[in-house]
Amino acid sequence: MQAGRELDVKVAEALGWGVEEMEGNGYTVPDFSTTWEGMGVLVEEAKKQGIAFRVETRFIDGSFFDYQCLASNGQTFGMATSGTAPYAACLALLKVKGVAV
């Protein structure tokens, strides 16, 4: 699944947010998978559920290669790699939550 609205809705649902109710009240789902600001919301909301993140920037021969994200609730781990940190964080969260993408 690519970064964007469909993935953002999946993440919101995995966090336990009522997306239909949210949107019915005029709120929008954050851009979890495409913006650093959205990733910040994701990390803070996941933290409330006991999920921690570790994001590393990887370089090869001095040039940016990708981001590697590890998410864990202490029992389950989710690892994802992507060209952007927000996308990697979303995929890692969904793996921890057991949501297929």
Write the pLDDT tens digit of every residue in 21-44: 888 888 899 999 999 999 999 999
pTM of the full structure: 0.93
Order of strands across the sheet with 52-60?
52-60, 63-72, 77-82
Is the predicted pLDDT of residue 66 greater than 90, yes or no?
yes
pLDDT of the residue at 40: 97
Average pLDDT over residues 9-13: 96
Tell me how far apart the alpha carbons of residues 86 and 47 are, in angstroms, rounded to a whole number: 16
Please report, to the nearest 10 degrees, the dihedral formed by the alpha carbons of residues 96, 26, 21, 72 taken in order.
Answer: 10
Characterize the bridge pairing of strands 52-60 and 77-82. unpaired
| Helix (H) or strand (E) run with residue 23 in it | helix 19-24
Helices 36-48 and 85-97 cross at an angle (nearest 10°) of 30
